[in-house]
């Protein structure tokens, strides 16, 4: 059967249009500045980086941004997707596996309203998602565990339609797995189900995916399956090995790995092991009404209706923003951070967009990913100098993005 052809129906969601700025590590061209070198060097290994926000070459009518492990994406006002950076697994979606240091259009998509980029796993594997205005989802990139959702484990360097999904309103790409939120408030998941990433229970995995040269088989789903234990969801986020969802009542639910407390469920994570607790959604206690969540490699953030932020999980580089490096298995309030409009969490650093259109960051800064002109780790929120008029932020593996209104 020939692949489906993307079609668009209904209006494309046109938010404020702007340009993209990037900072942090640039060794794969992931800053989109036209080169994999400079403009500075960071760390003992003198890797190419930028410690201040630097304009991405090209697009000027961007409405949304996404940061993956070593690559980035932007959505423009016409519903086109552009991507740049690492392309080892075809995650740029342009039909090749060649890295790109400037934004390049993703082939074969029309009327896209949302994009998602996966964090890099231990092998650097990455995949991408796009939501079209007709409610269908398209995917491309690494597919070792079926995270592309087309029923195969074949790597895709251009978009293919995710099987069986319609009426989707939001998407999230995690470490070798994917999530979709439908209009009825249900969540659908596919890809790797180790550590209970899919939220359906490890024992309920539809199949096994053979990896490591076929010597082992791991639990997976190569097409979407519904997370039956969760309904009424309005927002979601996917990290490296865990996920978060917000229900209409403001409650947060988590599932997946909790080695570093990233699920925020406290002692429940140790009461019988992952199979008893965390391979299905479990409510995160002690939170006020939440409107948005963000998931990093081993940590989590929640934005409350009052504009404050709580954090939990790994804190080895200060990514929880509470002034310490103490790991937390239940939520803690980030002191002094108020009037927040959006949050993003990378591998070990975080960003917050405040109402004035300015940005603060905290956590790891070894490659300048906090954009403050230094490589100094920050255990509390610190302003990104020179940024104003920002409407969105995204951060990933040692680099960050901001969308600034024209």
* Mean pLDDT, range 262-287, rounded to an integer: 79
Q: Which pLDDT band, with edges at 50, 70 and 90, does 269 fall under?
A: low
Instruction: Say whether pLDDT at 184 is over 90.
Output: yes
Longest dimension (CA), the chain: 57
293-334 residue pLDDT tens:
999 999 999 999 999 999 999 999 999 999 999 999 999 999
In the DSSP assignment, the letter for residue 194 is: G
Instruction: Say whether pLDDT at 42 is over 70.
Output: yes
Q: Is residue 190 within 8 Å of 198, Cβ to Cβ?
A: yes
Instruction: Say whether pLDDT at 5 is over 60.
Output: no
| Predicted local distance difference test score (pLDDT) of residue 125 | 75
How far is the CA of 73 from the CAs of 25, 63, 178, 213, 401, in angstroms? Answer: 16, 11, 17, 31, 10
| Predicted local distance difference test score (pLDDT) of residue 213 | 65
51-91 residue pLDDT tens:
999 999 999 999 999 999 999 999 999 999 999 999 999 99
**For the whole model, what pTM was predicted?**
0.95
Q: Residue written as tokens 């020939």?
A: 2
CA 239 to chain centre: 6
Instruction: Say whether pLDDT at 1 is over 50.
Output: no
| Predicted local distance difference test score (pLDDT) of residue 406 | 86
104-134 residue pLDDT tens:
999 999 999 999 999 976 556 799 999 999 9
| Predicted local distance difference test score (pLDDT) of residue 357 | 96
What percent of the chain has pLDDT above 90? 87
| Predicted local distance difference test score (pLDDT) of residue 274 | 44
Q: Which pLDDT band, with edges at 50, 70 and 90, does 212 fall under?
A: low
Q: Residue written as tokens 């070792």?
A: 144
| Predicted local distance difference test score (pLDDT) of residue 386 | 93
| Predicted local distance difference test score (pLDDT) of residue 271 | 57
Backbone conformation region of residue 184, classed left if phi is above 0, alpha if psi is from -120 to 50, else beta = alpha
Residue ranges covered by each domain of the chain: 18-405
Instruction: Say whether pLDDT at 275 is over 50.
Output: no
CATH code: domain 18-405 is: 2.130.10.30
Q: Is residue 151 within 8 Å of 215, Cβ to Cβ?
A: no
Q: Is residue 402 within 8 Å of 387, Cβ to Cβ?
A: yes
Backbone conformation region of residue 381, classed left if phi is above 0, alpha if psi is from -120 to 50, else beta = beta
């Amino acid at each position: 059967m020939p692949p489906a052809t993307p079609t668009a129906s209904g209006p494309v969601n046109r938010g404020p249009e702007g340009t993209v700025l990037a900072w942090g590590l640039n060794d794969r061209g992931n800053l989109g500045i036209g080169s994999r070198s400079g403009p500075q060097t960071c760390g003992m290994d003198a890797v190419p980086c930028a410690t201040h926000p630097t304009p991405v070459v090209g697009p000027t009518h961007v409405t949304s941004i996404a940061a993956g492990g070593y690559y980035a994406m932007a959505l423009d006002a016409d519903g086109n997707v552009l991507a740049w950076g690492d392309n080892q697994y075809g995650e740029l979606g342009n039909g090749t596996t060649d890295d790109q240091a400037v934004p390049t259009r993703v082939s074969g998509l029309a009327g896209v309203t949302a994009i998602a980029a996966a964090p890099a796993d231990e092998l650097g594997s990455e995949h991408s998602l796009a939501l079209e205005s007709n409610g269908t989802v398209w995917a491309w990139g690494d597919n070792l565990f079926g995270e592309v959702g087309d029923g195969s484990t074949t790597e895709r360097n251009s978009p293919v339609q995710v099987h069986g999904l319609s009426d989707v309103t939001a998407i999230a790409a995690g470490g070798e797995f994917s999530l979709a939120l439908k209009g009825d408030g249900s969540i659908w998941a596919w890809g790797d189900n180790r550590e209970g990433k899919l939220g359906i229970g490890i024992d309920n995995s539809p199949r096994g995916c053979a990896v490591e040269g076929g010597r082992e088989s791991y639990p997976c789903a190569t097409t979407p399956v519904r997370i039956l234990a969760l309904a009424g969801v309005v927002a979601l986020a996917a990290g490296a090995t865990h996920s978060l969802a917000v229900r209409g009542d403001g409650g947060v639910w988590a599932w997946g790995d909790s080695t570093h407390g990233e699920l925020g469920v406290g002692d429940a994570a140790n009461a019988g092991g992952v199979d008893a607790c965390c391979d299905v959604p479990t409510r995160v206690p002690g939170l006020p009404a939440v409107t948005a969540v963000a998931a990093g490699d081993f940590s989590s953030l929640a934005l409350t209706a009052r504009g404050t932020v709580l954090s939990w999980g790994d804190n080895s580089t200060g990514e929880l923003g509470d002034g310490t490096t103490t790991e937390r298995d239940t939520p803690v309030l980030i002191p002094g951070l108020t009037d927040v409009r959006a949050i993003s969490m990378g591998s070990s650093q975080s960003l917050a967009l405040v109402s004035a259109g300015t940005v603060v960051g905290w956590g790891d800064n070894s490659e300048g990913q906090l954009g403050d002109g230094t490589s100094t780790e920050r255990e509390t929120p610190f302003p990104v100098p020179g940024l104003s008029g920002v409407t969105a932020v995204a951060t990933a593996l040692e680099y960050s993005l901001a969308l600034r209104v024209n």
